[in-house]
């Protein structure tokens, strides 16, 4: 009986160790950042030929560049950007967002969810986790994009 219990215990850890280690590694690899961490960027106004307009193109500094492709966690205000359920997380509430002229493009992150997500209220304060991708050229998306985004609170 004792050897059977020992065998079951061994088999349990043999088959659950890797997922457990993976989960620990994922939690350990998450870097909690603040909005100040995203301010290491300068913008230059350039003319976009395709859209026949001037846009602000980012030149990311070394601190922000080091975050590219890393799993991050950030807290901010949720703001819907269309009727299809797409959201951004912002440093500031909706009345002070970038699109209203109250802050810069570095104060918002576009959220790209991998699975169906809930809808959030305007200015709901949430923490999101995902892979940060820097966008320097596509003017149809924000400069900061959180891929595989998920709410952690």
Task: Report the SS3 class of residue 16.
Answer: helix
Q: How far apart are the first and last CA of the chain?
A: 44
- Tokens, residue 19: 């997922």
pTM for the model stands at: 0.78
Q: How far is CA 119 from CA 26, 81, 86, in A?
A: 26, 12, 9
Q: What is the mean pLDDT of residues 18-32?
A: 61
User: How many whole angstroms separate alpha carbon 5 and alpha carbon 31?
Assistant: 40
Model confidence over 45-83: pLDDT tens digits?
999 999 999 999 999 999 999 999 999 999 999 999 888
Per-residue pLDDT at 114: 86
DSSP alpha helices (H): ranges in 30-100? 62-65
Is the pLDDT at 9 greater than 80? The verdict is: no
Q: Could you tell me which residues are beta bridge partners of residue 90?
A: 77, 108
Q: Give the Cα separation of 76 and 91 in Å (integer).
A: 5
- How many of the other CB atoms lie within 10 Å of CB of 3? 7
């Amino acid at each position: 009986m004792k050897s059977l219990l020992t065998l079951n215990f061994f088999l349990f850890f043999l088959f659950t160790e890797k997922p457990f280690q993976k989960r620990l590694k994922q939690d350990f690899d998450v870097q909690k950042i603040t909005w100040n961490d995203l301010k290491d960027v300068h913008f230059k106004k350039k003319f976009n030929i395709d859209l026949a307009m001037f846009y602000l193109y980012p030149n990311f500094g070394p601190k922000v560049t080091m975050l590219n492709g890393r799993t991050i966690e950030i807290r901010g205000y949720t703001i819907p950007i269309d009727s299809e359920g797409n959201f951004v997380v912002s440093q500031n509430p909706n009345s002070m967002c970038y699109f209203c002229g109250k802050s810069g493009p570095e104060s918002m992150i576009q959220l790209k969810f991998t699975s169906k997500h809930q809808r959030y209220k305007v200015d709901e304060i949430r923490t999101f986790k995902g892979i940060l991708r820097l966008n320097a050229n596509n003017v149809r998306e924000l400069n900061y994009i959180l891929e595989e985004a998920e709410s952690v609170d």
